Structure 1
Amino acid sequence: MSLLTIEGVWKNYHGHSVLRGIDLSVEAHEVVCLIGASGSGKSTLLRCVNLLETVDDGTIHLDGKEITDVRVDADDVRKRMGIVFQAFNLFPHMTVLDNITLAPRKVHKVGREQAEHQARELLERFGLADKAASYPDRLSGGQQQRAAIIRAMATRPRLMLLDEVTSALDPALVTEVLSVIRELKEGGMTMILTTHEMGFCREIADTVCFLDDGVLLERGTPEQVFTDPRQPRTREFLRSVLDARRI
């Protein structure tokens, strides 16, 4: 049984279909990269999986249970997922340690001592042990994004959703965030991520999905999608990305 199953999902905004019949399954420990032009539906799909958006048609199952049923408690579902956005969204009035321990203590009812112990272990693991008492505005962009990823991990999620987590960073800071994602993969974390970093996508993904105008147009291994894409639109997109990098 797949960890996550998306079947026939549609999402409409003001009469426009942003997602059009998306079918996708994600196995435990699999890393799925969503690629495509801005506005293709990548971020909306992640928001639907996290139940931040209500689907207009279709179903989503997590661990075999439908989470798009209107009777499902969305907050309970979100306890099993971590999501990180382009913006870091750290609470500016809280230290890094307090940001990371907030959800374990308040949502998962973990004791403060245990939550702080787990948080410090994660901070040590990802090179931020000396920033526990710092406030977000004292951190670089790369450090803030690493802290945001650690905060999402602190609840020990079944699934991580990462939405263009390097797009707001200076190029010099991208590498340190990508190294965190690389380590998550090595640790067996199941992830769906959207990215414009094609080289990194090719390296880290088990499966690459190309979205075009709300349609999942192509799905395959990184080798297949990047070297021998089946769809003309996939070839056109990859060519445009590579051409832009040469400028």
Structure 2
Amino acid sequence: MSLLTIEGVWKNYHGHSVLRGVDLSVEAHEVVCLIGASGSGKSTLLRCVNLLETVDDGVIYLDGDEITDVRVDADEARRRMGIVFQAFNLFPHMTVLDNITLAPRKVHRVGRGQAEKEARELLARFGLADKAGAYPDRLSGGQQQRVAIIRALATRPSLMLLDEVTSALDPALVKEVLEIIRELKAGGMTMILTTHEMGFCREIADTVCFLDGGVLLERGTPEQIFTDPREPRTREFLRSVLDSRRL
């Protein structure tokens, strides 16, 4: 059984279809990269999976449970996932440690001592042990994004959703965030991520999915997608992205 199954998902905004019958399955420990032009539906798909958006048609299963059923407690389903956006969304008035432990303590009812112990272990694992008492405005952009990822990990999710987590960073800071994603993959974390970093996508992904106009147009291994894409639109997109990198 797949960890995540998306079947025929449609999402409409003001009469415009942003997702058009998307089907996707994600196995445990698999890393899936979603690529495509801005507005192709990548971020919307992640938001639908996390139930931040209501799907207009289709179903989504998480570990065999239909989470799009209207009778499902959306908050309960979200507790099984972690999501990180391109904006860091850290609480500026709270220390790094308090940002990370908030959800475990308030949502998952973990005791403060245990939550702080696990948070410090995560900070140490990802090279931020000395930042536990710092406030977000004292961190670099790359450090803030790493804290945002650690905050999502602190709830022990079975699935991580990463939405353009490097796009708001200066190029010099991108490397440190990509390194944390490599570490997660090495640890077997199941992930779906949207990215414009094609080189990183090719390195990290088990499966690459190209979205175009809300349609999941092509899916394959990184080798197949980047060296021999079947669809003309995929070839056109990759050519435009690679050409822009050379300018």
TM-score by length of 1: 1.00
Over residues 13-58 of structure 1, what are the superposed CA-to-partner deviations in whole Å (9 max), with x where a residue is unaligned? 0000000000000000000000000000000000000000000000
Structure-2 residue corresponding to 1:199: 199
Once residues 104 and 78 of structure 2 are traced to their aligned partners in structure 1, the CA distance between those partners, rounded to angstroms, is 12
For 1:124 and 1:92, how far apart are their aligned partners in 2?
21
The residue aligned with 1:63 is 63
Aligned to 2:187: 187
> Per-residue deviation at 1:62?
0.3
Cα deviation, 1:174-212, whole Å, max 9, x if unaligned, reads: 000000000000000000000000000000000000000
State the Cα distance separating 1:114 from its structure 2 match: 0.3
Aligned residues: 247
- Identity, % of aligned positions: 89
TM-score normalised to the size of structure 2?
1.00
Q: 1:217 matched to which residue of 2?
A: 217
Give the equivalent residue in structure 2 for 1:27: 27
Q: Distance in 2 between matches of 1:2 and 1:91?
A: 35
What is the Cα-based RMSD across aligned positions, in Å? 0.2
Offset from partner CA, 1:123-171 (integer Å, 9 cap, x none): 0000100000000000000000000000000000000000000000000
Residue identity matched to 1:193: L
| Counterpart position of 2:38 | 38
Q: In 2, distance between residues paired with 1:99 and 1:66?
A: 30
Q: Secondary structure of the equivalent of 1:22?
A: strand
SS at match of 2:149: helix
1:229, CA displacement in angstroms?
0.1
Describe the SS at the equivalent of 1:5: strand
- Tell me what 1:154 maps to: 154
